[in-house]
Chain A
């Protein structure tokens, strides 16, 4: 039995984590983790976008509404963006965006930003393990649970 399943059984709460990643760096980095047969926690679901610059703040809010306990946004390192400056745009947007998130009552520990390049499989693995464990500690994100159902009523 792997280390991971042991943990799942003892801990009980399995957080759901949504990751928005860019196609060129982080997606490829995650692929490399796969081809290198590294192991990491299975809690993350990736949504691929061309660039972190494509990410709309609403994506993140929607993810939480849909039951995410944590959200990760990851793209190319500054200066390495496939689209030259897309990730700078993303970064600039976060500054204003962070305030908004806090305002809407999202614990900032649930939202992570990172850079993972196509060769940083280890970083990706550490990142996912780290975030999963941290969110396990914080516990499930209840504030938005049921929001979607309410909205559809």
Chain B
């Protein structure tokens, strides 16, 4: 027979006003298994807790009911008190007779309140009788983090983690870290040169003793769970021995073949053996295998000949390395929508229609024109430039419905850069709304208009076409209600920001969610902005949606702080509310496996004595299971149950109803 103690709280007058607590306690005494019952003014007060502890000891209680406020309020308090009195904390259950009873039933006769409180307490008592002692789950934490994506968000996250004393690996798919920011010229709203503020961070990341860079690498496979991930990383063959390469650049210099530079968005060529840009980190070239005549046709090999340290190896192969880590930050960033999708703007057909990112390269001191604004068709300095905002953004029909958030700002920046570099040039901006909601952002746009003479026209452009070496822009100025035609020398499209190709495949490897545009979902857009639904995996930067550098950096730091707080203890404890499979009755139908929202259920091989697999059974991974119980309801043979909410417990409560 169980020995249960029942403690009914008066909460001053909060409960006692409409519930006869004494009567409730008295009634409970009559139930089988209840050996102690009383009511008390403030259960959560120190004397109240002491009374509880003493009663446990004096009456050798093996179960405790506190009928008081919501368990969301004091369940922890009372379970802790029980624990300190030597009782398993999960043998303590709360009945909610305040929020669910006294506060919502104002009957001063105490009839309804007392009846309901007694009912609820009885249900909890019956439930408690079926409780089993549970132990908190302890999970060891591997204190190493992986950051996927070495853009500014990823770099910031890695630096913060490393500064916190934790080892971190940056996995970057390109030959260099830096991401999109490496392409930018100057950055709003302060107009610092992008390279000037980014390069020091890149170098710091390279030199930091706690940071390992895996460039030219991608995630192959992710297993495990929070604190205990096992990640396979494919280190693509660079054909250059990273350890020995001195970065002298001799090989690049001598390579006889050139192809379009992706980094420069096709505006110039690069060698087949290359670094994406001069400040690349690490400063180790890679061979673009599909274009290398040695690798494809066994001709050439010049680079290997000129390389002093002899670090070129045409036979090098991809390597898979396996890393154990406790947390992962995803910071894979964005790409731009193909401009060709908008035939009316003529991108691809008309040479002098370029994208905003191409304009960044033109304006960049390290870009193809050395920072001079020259139009692609004939290299002339454009006397008039038309900027078209929302190209692909806010376009439900052919583009994406969302706003790309940064293009209003960078277009204003472009007009400034243009006016500083081309005196007497005229810029025009077609916009629908100016979205400059940030600190000093609106002022920035006003400056472009008032000081740098950008002519802002509220309207969209219908068509861009070529005539006599000019680019004709047919637009509207809806404020004056007129059509506008501009004979421009160059047109710049503020192209929509979209998610990376393959963002969905990576998300599937990580079991994190993404929206219909394949941007990753945060756990909660306001309150958990860098967490994902999968514990231990965090997000930072534009892989979540368009944002600017300040926001990307803030998120990198936020994600890093989450990782550091996770790593602040050697092991994590968590509530033991997890599912458990009955191996005798499980018939391997896998209904639970498909139902589980967290992929916490695995197929577990059962072997006979000879080590031969005889069957497969469902097995719950306690580290991953979040205790939702979906699997329990899914299992037709009742072979899986949820600790803390077992069928037995629930039925007992229902039966006491």
Contact = CB atoms under 8 A, between A and B. Distances in A.
A28 B96 CA distance: 12
B104 A54 contact: no
Contacts of A40: 104-105
A39 B106 contact: yes
Contacts of A34: 70, 98-100, 103-104
B92 to A, nearest CB: 15
Contacts of A62: 651, 654-655
A135 B116 CA distance: 18
A134 B162 CA distance: 62
A118 to B, nearest CB: 10
Nearest to B534: A84
B630 interface: yes
Given A31-B99, A54-B630, A84-B513, A2 B654 contact: no
A45 B100 CA distance: 9
12 contacts: A37-B103, A42-B101, A42-B104, A42-B113, A47-B650, A49-B650, A50-B645, A54-B628, A54-B632, A67-B657, A83-B630, A84-B513
B654 A51 contact: no
Contacts of A31: 70, 72, 96, 99-100
Interface in B585-635: 595, 597-598, 626-630, 632-634
Contact of A35 (B99, B577, B597, B627): B99
Nearest to A40: B104
Nearest to A63: B654
Contacts of B513: 84
B533 interface: yes
Given A28-B72, A30-B100, A18 B657 contact: yes
Chief secondary structure at chain B's binding surface: helix
Given A50-B645, A125-B104, 19 more contacts: A5-B112, A18-B654, A30-B100, A31-B70, A34-B99, A37-B106, A42-B107, A42-B112, A45-B119, A45-B657, A46-B96, A47-B653, A50-B629, A54-B630, A62-B651, A82-B628, A84-B513, A86-B630, A90-B633
Interface in A3-28: 4-5, 8, 16, 18, 27-28
Contacts of A27: 72
Interface string A84-98: 111001100100000
B100 A5 contact: no
A119 interface: no
Contact of B628 (A30, A38, A83, A125): A83
Contacts of A4: 105-107, 112
Contacts of B119: 45
B104 A89 contact: no
B630 A53 contact: yes
B657 A16 contact: yes
B116 A42 contact: yes
A81 to B, nearest CB: 8
B104 A39 contact: yes
Contacts of A33: 99, 104
B373 interface: no
A90 B113 CA distance: 32
Contact of B116 (A2, A45, A51, A53): A45
A84 B533 contact: yes
Contacts of B109: 5
Interface string B81-122: 000000000000000101111011111110111011001100
Contacts of A66: 654-655, 657
A21 B38 CA distance: 29
Interface of B: 70-72, 96, 98-101, 103-109, 111-113, 115-116, 119-120, 123, 513, 533, 577, 595, 597-598, 626-630, 632-634, 642, 645, 647, 650-651, 653-655, 657
Nearest to B634: A89
Contacts of B597: 83-86, 89
A137 to B, nearest CB: 20
Nearest to B116: A42
Interface of A: 2, 4-5, 8, 16, 18, 27-28, 30-31, 33-35, 37-40, 42, 45-51, 53-56, 59, 62-63, 66-68, 82-86, 89-90, 93, 125
A37 B533 CA distance: 34
Contacts of B628: 50-51, 53-54, 82-83, 86
A70 to B, nearest CB: 12
Contacts of A2: 106-108
B445 to A, nearest CB: 35
Contacts of A51: 628-630
Contact of A59 (B99, B100, B112, B654): B654
Contacts of A63: 654, 657
B629 A30 contact: no
A49 B645 contact: yes
Contacts of A46: 96, 100, 120
B657 A56 contact: no
Nearest to B577: A50
A90 B632 CA distance: 12
A55 B633 contact: yes
A133 to B, nearest CB: 16
Contacts of A90: 630, 633
Contacts of A84: 513, 533, 597-598
A39 B18 CA distance: 12
B635 to A, nearest CB: 9
Nearest to A62: B654
A51 B489 CA distance: 62
Nearest to A16: B657
Nearest to B633: A56
A113 B597 CA distance: 22
B650 to A, nearest CB: 6
Contacts of A93: 633
Nearest to A61: B654
A50 B71 CA distance: 13
A90 B98 CA distance: 29
Given A4-B107, A5-B107, A93-B633, A50 B657 contact: no
Nearest to A32: B99
A59 B652 CA distance: 11
A42 B629 CA distance: 29
Contacts of B627: 50
A18 B116 CA distance: 12
Nearest to B594: A89
A50 B642 contact: yes
A93 B629 CA distance: 14
A101 to B, nearest CB: 15
Contacts of A85: 597, 630
Contacts of A55: 633
A53 B629 contact: yes
A40 B100 CA distance: 10
B657 A54 contact: no
Nearest to A54: B629
Contacts of A5: 107, 109, 111-112
A56 to B, nearest CB: 5
B537 to A, nearest CB: 13
Residue in A55, A89, A125 whose Cβ sees the most chain B Cβ within 10 Å: A89
